[in-house]
Every structure is written in structure tokens, then in C-alpha cells.
Structure 1
Amino acid sequence: MTMDQLGTSVAPEVQDSLSAASIKFEIKTESSFGRKRAYSESSSSSLVDRIPGKMRKMQFQKEPGICNCVKIPTKVTPDAEDIKEPKAEMNTPSSEEGEDDKEKEKKDILSMMECPVCLEHPREGPIFNCEHGHLVCGKCQPKIRECPICRSGNVGHRNLFAEKMLSLTLKSITLPCINHSEGCKVTGLATELHKHESICMFRKIQCPAHHRGACLWQGSLTKLYPHLSEKKCAQIIKVEDEHKSYVSVIGDFVENETVFNRASTTHWKPVMLVSRKSFRFFAYLVMSRTPAGEWYFYVRSFTGKKIVRLLRTKITVRTPSKSAASSSSSSSTSTTTYSTNPSTAEFSYTGSVNVYNDSEETVIKNGKYLFMKDAQVKQFKHDKTILEYEVQLSFNSKSKKSVD
């Protein structure tokens, strides 16, 4: 009931007494000790602050504790500022966080496929497992006879499920170069990274003398020249003028023994061909003689297959000149360009260069070599110097620009 309604329904003398009386608000609350507390005028300001917005708009008399409410609404609707709906806190991950989670899941899958032999996850199939399910990559499987984890003797089971999971995982994941442990900083998609890895300067190789059993060193390609200089397991011919050929000689055994009577295959030291431009090809000459009296001369290169296809070489064998024969020594490095004798007969091969990891059978099958018999080589021999060889190396780019 409003004050207007109250004024019309109450007798005048009662109304006068009500208007003269003071209505004191006493708000009774339970204290921590269960007692009732009355807020006086000292707390009236804080009391008003607790009243909702629309009720604060009502008129209050300035007399402490006295309210002259003209109209009291029957239904109070709070202002918008008093309505504070709690916002739902949704843990919705951002797109970057979602991508990071997916990347982590893929790397976890790859870690489960880590080969226990090389401690790397495979980049391609096949993948094998033992009878207990332990995985081994296709590169290491032919090298072992038992599982390195459980010692099971059968590691020949092909795991097609693991190969499929590997293929799906590698489609869209960024990985470091497989030679990162050697210092390579390149990263990329796994599906494209193999293009870089095939020509990476940090990839692991074997010493050029590995094929003759003289050196078992394996290491980064960037460490090849320091290794050869230190261990002397290969001859290094350096030319200052890149347009000149690499020329040297090979000698026979000392005293009464001769290579022509050997019943086993003879391998001479590989010869690294180095100039200011050709050093990046890591090309070297290989020379050998079989017990059947067959001689093979060919050039290999440590560079990638695409570049090897553009390399051309010319290998020439002839009678050693006087300067070449007198300069023949056991030194592993030669910087002398020997003069040639054009009046003598010579044999030569002009053609492509072989990839460094091609087997001798592959080299012979491809025909990229110079072949001679004992009877042909003997006509070149002079004292203990068997023959003189000359190697030319060139690079046929699209512009047909020669490198050496």
C-alpha cells in the first residue's frame, strides 16, 4: 500500500501523527555471535550503496534514518549494470595451440617407431619387427641377426601397419635434417627433406679407401679432406689452374715382386682431384687390377646424383714421361703437373662419372670406366713406373659452362 493510499484511508488525526513520527530503519542482522545489530546514521551511506539501482533512485529525506518514500514500486527490476551474468569459461584452444598439439602427436608416433639400432625414426619403408613386435628400420635390418631388445632371432617380419602409419605421419610434419647431429641446421617437410639430405654437406660418408679395406672411417662430408690429410689414406692432387689436368703415375712393387704376378686384386690409393672449383664435387680416381690381369680406371664423386649426371671426365693412360718417372714418390699429395709425351701410344675413356656408393659390379655394368689388359699396360712400363695417367674433369651445366 502506497503513502497516497494510506493517506486516503486513514483518519486525518492519525495521518498527522504518522507524518510527524519518525520511521527509523532498523536492519537486524545476525552477527558472528548471533546478536542483532542496528545500523544507525553512520552506516546509512553504505546501506544505500547496497540497494539495487532503481531503488537508489528513490527520494530519501536528508534526515538520518528517515525515509519519505513517495512511491514504492510493487515490482523492482534491477538496472542492467546490476545484472552481471557470469561468462562461461570455455577452454577452447587457439588454432596455433591445436596445430602444436597435432605436431606433438605426430612426433610421438615417430618416436615410437625409433629404430633401436641407429636410434633414428625411419623416413621410408620397409619396416620390420621381431616376433615380439620390436621395430627395426629397413636400413638396419639386413645388418643384424637378432633383435637388439629381446634377442629374438627372427627380425624378418614386415610390419605393413607401421609403414602405413609412417607414411601418413610424414605427410605434413616438419623435421630437422637427418644430419642434424653433424651440424646441419636445415628443417623442412619430411616429404621434401630427402631432396636436401641427398646432397647435404653434413651427410655421412665412408672414406674413399674403404673399398680396398685400407680405412674404415665414416664421418661428415665436411670432414673428408681433413681426414685424408691426416691419415694419408688417399693421394691428393691439387692444381692451381682449374683448366689443367690432373696428372701422376703409379709404380710397381719394390725389389723382385711385380704387380703383374699377383694372384689377388690390387687396389692403388684413390686419388682426390682438387682445384679451386672442382673441390666441391669431391671427385676421385679409382685404379685396380684383378688376378686375371684386367685393369680398371674410373672416377667417382661424393656429390648428389643430379650433379653427377652433369659431370664429365676423360681418363688417359700412356707411357710415363721422364719428368713424371723421376718425380714418382710415395708422397700422398702431389701438386706437380707432369708433362706428357705425345709420341707414345695411349688409351683413354671419355664419359660420365660414377656415384660414390655404386658397387664395382654396378660400375662395370654401366660401362663408365677405362678397361685394359696386362699386355696393353706392360708396354707403358718404365723401370718401376708402370704408367702415367691424366684425368680431366668438366661440368656440363645448362649454360654449357665448363668448370674444370
Structure 2
Amino acid sequence: MVQRQLPNPAELLELLRFKKPELNARTRRLDAALTIADLRTIAKRRTPKAAFDYTDGAAEGELSLQRARQAFEDVEFHPGILTPAPTVDTSVEILGAPSALPFGIAPTGFTRLMQTEGEVAGAGAAAAAGIPFTLSTLGTTSIEGVQAATLREPQGPVPARNWFQLYVMRDREISYELTRRAAAAGFDTLHFTVDTPVAGARLRDKRNGFSIPPQLTLGTIINAIPRPWWWYDFLTTPKLEFASLSTTGGTVGELLDAAMDPTISYDDLAIIRDLWPGNIVVKGVQTTEDALRLRDAGVDGIVLSNHGGRQLDRAPIPFHLLPQVRRAVGDDFTVMIDTGIMNGADIVASIALGADFTLIGRAYLYGLMAGGRQGVDRAIAILRTEIERTMRLLGVSSLDELTPAHVTQLTRLVPVARDAAGAVTA
């Protein structure tokens, strides 16, 4: 028999713990976001379809992006036991300077389109967190504007630093002048991007009639009705245009095809190397052979990347490529990775398998769309918490303690075995 009694009023009072209500709607919705996926849900609700799909989408069937994310989900961790890690050190040394976390913000184009604070929010949040911020050639804030935003930010846990991502244009002098300006503004690393000879087929953009600047049509007006805040920001802030280029008007593909040059070569890399005084890394590497050739050419590092799945669909998965590239180039060459990172555990797995550093793109933009600068801060905080928790559960106190033994890449896509002549083997 269960003994029952009347509730004790004093005990009931102990159970009543009312949380102080949060009156700020932005803070309230961001506090409720526990994952990057939560931020994506908020971003989709608050952003017009064309702008959200430009961020969220990829090329053609979007297989490269799906596979990249699946690769991170298909990770099995191997924690150590009786190896307590009550505190963890998430800092790394990357390209000659510290970062408080093993990730930085990747270059993204048209960023003020997603939310009006754009690159200023990203650069400020990165500086506050002590991680690098990378400005895109197709950014909507100038090189000098990003540097000013960084300098306005109170000193973070490590000195703030900015990186610049360079496309080689048909008019080479544009690229050369951007290189000089970034160096003069104190940017310390240049990402020489090699995976965009022409634009990928971003079908969501075509179906949405997405253009730069956005055009007011019946469809966009209808889509804007439940999102008046986005249009208020868009119409009451400076004109949305490229900060580093004078060409605007047209679809993203048309703009890229007009500006990019499919004849880019190692000769162009050598010219930029001579112009650039700081670190130079090549972004968009997708084979071990190219990684070795670039190492031997004297660059400071590479980024294994398929451009977030936005260029060649069915391109190699950077996370799958990582272990073999690390073995091939050795331990003394900087290897970074992007594409598909949505969780701090993805970052930990990448470091364990040989990456020196990682870059986040969509994860940061989901935060930006969800809540401007405050949303970017929230995205960084979510990833930081996930990194720290994963490290503690693995029983490691610093990133240096992570090894390939901590991770197994479970395989869904197994290449067909072929002999030297290309014939399928049993």
C-alpha cells in the first residue's frame, strides 16, 4: 500500500521556481536555440525565401552538401576512461598566431543580404571570441570597413585577426588591387580560391529568381508580408552592393561567370604570392595530388573544401579526404577543412583526424539571420559548448591530445575497386 497524505504547503512552495521573464524577443528566441539546427529553423522563419535558400542551398541536386553532412554524422567516437578532463583548452596556433577556438568564420558572399549587419556582425563576433574572420571578395562590407569593425571590438581572449578570400578575376588588376588593400589593412592571411572557374548550377536561386540586388516582384512581396523586419532593414540601410566590385545586377551565376576566369593557373598563384606579404593558403583543394603539389610550391597551407557543395556537385567529401591528405603532406604543413560543419563534434572529429583548423560558413549565417550580431555570438557559443563537452566526454584536456584513434569514419560510400587499366576488380 502506498501511504498518501495531503500536500504540505511549505513543500509546494519549494517546488515553485518562477523564471524571470525575458522581455527582449531577440534574446528570448536565441536563448531557446540549443543547436545550429535550431538557429537554422529561426533563420528560415525570419528570412525571405530567396535569401534563405541562397544561404541554405547548394549546386544541382545538392548531393555534395548532403554527403558532407552525412560524413560527419557517420562518426563513431572512442572515449578514454578514467582520464578526467575537468577543464579543457580549446585554443590552437594557426598560421603563426593563436585562435581561442579551433574554428574561424569562412568567407561568404552577399552577407548583408541575409541580415543587414552582415560582415560587421561576423567580424565583431569573431574578434570578441578570439577567432579569425574571413572576408569574401564578394562581401558587402569593404576591407577597410571590416578592419574598422574589428578594431572597435573590445580585446578578446587573443588578438583579433582578419583573413581575406581572393577570387582571381578576368580583369587581373582588380584582384591585384584587392590584394594590396587587404595587406595595407592588416589582414594576415589570404585564401587564394581555386574551385570557382565558373559558377555552379545553384538551382534554388534560379527557381526563386534570386538576383543581386533583390528585385521586388509579386512573389517576393507576398513572401515578405510575414517578414516585415527584413524588408525594413533592407530598405532603410545603405544600398546592398559588392564592397569590392563595381558589377551588380543579375543572378549569382551570371555575376560569377562575368567576373571569374577559367584560365586561372599556377602562374596566377605565383603573382599573388609575390604581392602578398603574409600567409597564403589555397582554398578549394579536392585531391591528394593537388595538396602535395601545392605544398611543394611553397604555399603556407590549404583548405580542403568543395565550396560548401555550391560548385561541382558530387565533388569529394573534404572530411573523407582529410586523413589521406594528412598522411601524404606530413605533420608540418597546415591543412584546414570546411563544408558541412554543423556541430562542435564535427570540429573535434576533424582535428582528431589531422586538420589544423576548421571554417564555418552556413552555421554562422544561420545565427546572423536568426538574430544579427547577437545571433552570431550565439552560434559561436553553441559550437564552443559542443567542442568543450565532446572533449570532456572523450577524456582529453587539450586539442593536442586528440588522435585518429579517437574517431572512426563509418563508410556508406565505398569506391568501386579498379585495376591499373581501369577495369572493375572483384
Q: Same fold (TM over 0.5)?
A: no
Q: Which has the higher contact order (CA 8 A, sep 6+)?
A: 2
TM category, shorter = under 0.3
Instruction: Give the structure with the larger strand fraction.
Output: 1
Normalising by the residue count of structure 1, what TM-score does the alignment of the two structures yield? Answer: 0.21
More helix by share: 2
